[in-house]
Structure 1
Amino acid sequence: MTWSAWCLCVALLLAGSTSAAQAAGAIVTLKATLISPADDPRLERTRVERHYLGHVEGPASDGVQVALDEAQFELQAVDAAVALSKQPADSLEAARTAAQAAERAGAAVLLVDLPTDWTLAVVDAVKLPVVNVGDPADRLREKDCRARLFHIIPSERMRADALAQTLVSRKWSKVLMLVGPSAEDQLRAATAQASLKRYGLQVVATKAFKLSGDPRERDLANPLLLTAGNAYDVVWVVDSDGEFARGLPYRIVLPRPVVGDAGLVALAWQAQFERYGAPQVSRRFAKAAGRPMTAADWSAWMAGKALVAAVTAAPKGPAAAWAKALADTPLDGSKGGILTFRPWDGQLRQTVLLSDGQGVISQAPVDGLLHPTNVLDTLGGDAPEKLCKTTR
């Protein structure tokens, strides 16, 4: 038999076996729908161009798709597949409608990158497991938690705890807090203060800042005036918008570090992380998306990996089976160790990276910190706190 004839025979055999497997219904397909905002204000051109550290710089679909593309060989090996559809929503009601339509169309899992109230509307409108890709709001893990809601992105409390642990490890015990004017800033400041209290750090003063075109309010945006009159080891800035915070380092009265939303920032991911295969992950994403991988992109990538892990487990049955597969399957996030979802609030346990934007300075949990069961549970709400009342 000639070489070409042998290749033809092999091809025919492979095609026949594939067709037979498909005819027998052997391929398990997980249908998933990603719901994200239409005309997302976080992706407004001038905001993206400023590259605020820790802010979203591209659509969540980029990270999810990279994860699914990477997993094709793994999926084919177990006769499985993930079918992802994308649905934009321009309002809470539109998000709810999109979720219900996806459920009717046979989706088994929903991914959401939505504002907090929109996410809750989606979860309450369907019986499917929902994976929160991008909202760090603590209320989704606490008073407004849901049994079928899973969270990839670290919560605000996790990020605040990571920073507080870092301050303790460096013996920076006296903290001056600068807080922005928005309602989100007020909530995040309260979270930061809870973390500081948890780790025995002292807030020497809390001062409000405000960026304004009103000449009468210009002193409220003056770093020298805001940081004068107190003795402190570190300045913690809470600025959800990001514009004030980015100009704060090196402009304060005392030669002290800045943390929070500028200076040293707690992140889920940093493109210059150099351990655990992270450089390869960042390079693959940059090649596919044409931009560096951010914390939001890592979270979306992990959501895609969670889908792959669930369908690889090949559950059969109602939505509860897919929810169990998501909850029980450990994940590798290229940050060291195995990542799992906490049973009490659905949050993905993970290392948090501390970065100045140029590289990774340190990681949390910090070395030497102890916990009765899992040291990763020192970041965020722990089980004994019972902040989430939902039974899973």
Structure 2
Amino acid sequence: MRKRTPLFRLSLAGLAALLAAPVPAAAEVLKATLIAPADDPRMERSRIERAYLGHPGGPLADGVALAIDEAKFELEAAGAEVALASAPAASVEAARAAAVAAEKGGAAVLLTDLPADWTLAVADAVKLPVLNLSDASDRLRQQDCRARLFHLVPSERMRSDALAQTLVARKWSKLLLLVGGSPQDAARAATAQASIKRYGLQVVGSKAFKLSADPRERDLANPLLLTAGSSYDAVWVVDSDGEFARMLPYRTVLPRPVVGDGGLVALAWHAQFERYGAPQVSRRFAKAAKRPMTALDWAAWMGGKTLTAAAIAAPKGPAAAWAQAVAKSALDGSKGTGLSFRAWDGQLRQPMLLSDGQGVIAQAPAEGVLHPRDVLDTLGADAPEKLCSSAR
């Protein structure tokens, strides 16, 4: 008769083998904190309802959270985890304090949806990587750059280069430039003129406009008066507020296209982009956030993807490994090519979308534009133009 081994003996043997097996080290949690303005005027209901192109459509935490949720299976497979916290700030001092508190609380990466000066205060207050989700100021990439500051949102120079390439491709070489009266408009107009010069376009006239409730100043925002007296192929409008630019198309003296902040606008994303898996991204966001995905939402989504990429690359940490992984992240932004951060200014190189608000009309870099290393570096300040002295 065949002797049978007692089940109890097998259980003890199995238990002994289990206890002898090496126990995998527990993964560290990559903690991140998003710092955003308290009582953000950009989130005021009437501005959200107007849906100006390039302006936020809702809180950027929605895009970050979506990216982390989408990566949950990859995170689980790698034994990694990302935890996101939010910190509202009512002033630059509050933003700096929130950054210090987050670092003391174990945060390994900070994300910011803040004005330029607030972003710099955060970056200077900590020794952590800081992901800028929303401020497009070129000075953050140039003279005011920081070694640990990375930019998911395209710079103003990237937007204006994308427009200039599109104008060159269509042979609309003579431009009428209309500029608003704010300091931000003045800085952005200088950026636009740098792109116009870079791509060999010509400004045949430059005029200032002003929106005012004063009847005596009504003519300062009259499209017919502003666009008379010149021969041009297109009107380039610089209007950070967005109200004047929105009403300019189809109201010019000559039947010409409007570009810039109205008409044809260069964006990081549009919900009607229909290539490279983009519709699926936009649908997932709309389902989660109950609103269309804007360009800033895409930048926030990429910020979340940067966090998850760093966590997967270094599931056990430490913070130094996560910081290194952030800088070396190779990301898929559903734009048809791999995206990475530029070494000289921390900017995420990426294609740009040209939209009239209804759909995507074109993409940049435009066809035929060349570069010795990476054609994406034709958008924004290239390495030879860098003013950033911070070592990365």
The aligned counterpart of 1:167 is 167
1:32 alignment partner AA: A
How well do the aligned residues superpose, as a CA RMSD in angstroms? Answer: 1.5
Deviation of 1:161 after TM superposition, in Å, equals 0.1
Alignment of 1:1-392 (within 5 A): 25-314=25-314, 319-392=319-392
Deviation of 1:214 after TM superposition, in Å, equals 1.2
Secondary structure of the corresponding residue to residue 145 of structure 2? coil
Secondary structure of the corresponding residue to residue 48 of structure 1? helix
The answer (yes or no) to whether the contact 2:81–2:315 under 8 Å persists in 1 is no
CA separation in 1, counterparts of 2:367 and 2:390? 32
Deviation of 1:25 after TM superposition, in Å, equals 3.9
Aligned length: 374
In the alignment, structure 2 segments of 5+ residues that lack a partner are 1-17
Secondary structure of the corresponding residue to residue 340 of structure 1? strand
CA separation in 1, counterparts of 2:80 and 2:163? 41
CA separation in 2, counterparts of 1:320 and 1:226? 55
CA separation in 2, counterparts of 1:317 and 1:308? 12
Deviation of 1:302 after TM superposition, in Å, equals 0.4
Deviation of 1:368 after TM superposition, in Å, equals 1.0
Per-residue CA distance 1:352-386 (angstroms, 9 max, x = gap): 00000000000000011110100000000000112
Deviation of 1:318 after TM superposition, in Å, equals 5.2
Secondary structure of the corresponding residue to residue 339 of structure 1? strand
Per-residue CA distance 1:138-163 (angstroms, 9 max, x = gap): 00000000000000000000000000
Per-residue CA distance 1:291-343 (angstroms, 9 max, x = gap): 00000000000000000000100165654322210111200000111000000
1:67 alignment partner AA: A
Write out the 4+ residue segments of structure 1 that deviate beyond 3 Å after TM superposition: 315-320
1:272 alignment partner AA: Q
The aligned counterpart of 2:15 is none
CA separation in 1, counterparts of 2:106 and 2:25? 16
1:274 alignment partner AA: E
In the alignment, structure 1 segments of 5+ residues that lack a partner are 1-16
The aligned counterpart of 1:12 is none
Deviation of 1:213 after TM superposition, in Å, equals 1.1
CA separation in 1, counterparts of 2:333 and 2:28? 24
The answer (yes or no) to whether the contact 1:31–1:107 under 8 Å persists in 2 is yes
Indicate the larger mover: 306-315 or 295-304. Answer: 306-315
2:283 alignment partner AA: R
CA separation in 2, counterparts of 1:214 and 1:390? 47
CA separation in 2, counterparts of 1:215 and 1:329? 54
1:84 alignment partner AA: L
Indicate the larger mover: 311-320 or 359-368. Answer: 311-320
CA separation in 1, counterparts of 2:51 and 2:59? 14
2:378 alignment partner AA: T
The answer (yes or no) to whether the contact 1:27–1:81 under 8 Å persists in 2 is yes
The answer (yes or no) to whether the contact 1:92–1:121 under 8 Å persists in 2 is yes
CA separation in 2, counterparts of 1:335 and 1:386? 26
Larger radius of gyration: 2
Task: Provide closer, same or farther for how the CA distance between residues 373 and 315 of structure 1 changes in structure 2, counting only shifts above 3 A.
Answer: farther
The answer (yes or no) to whether the contact 2:211–2:244 under 8 Å persists in 1 is yes
Secondary structure of the corresponding residue to residue 213 of structure 1? coil
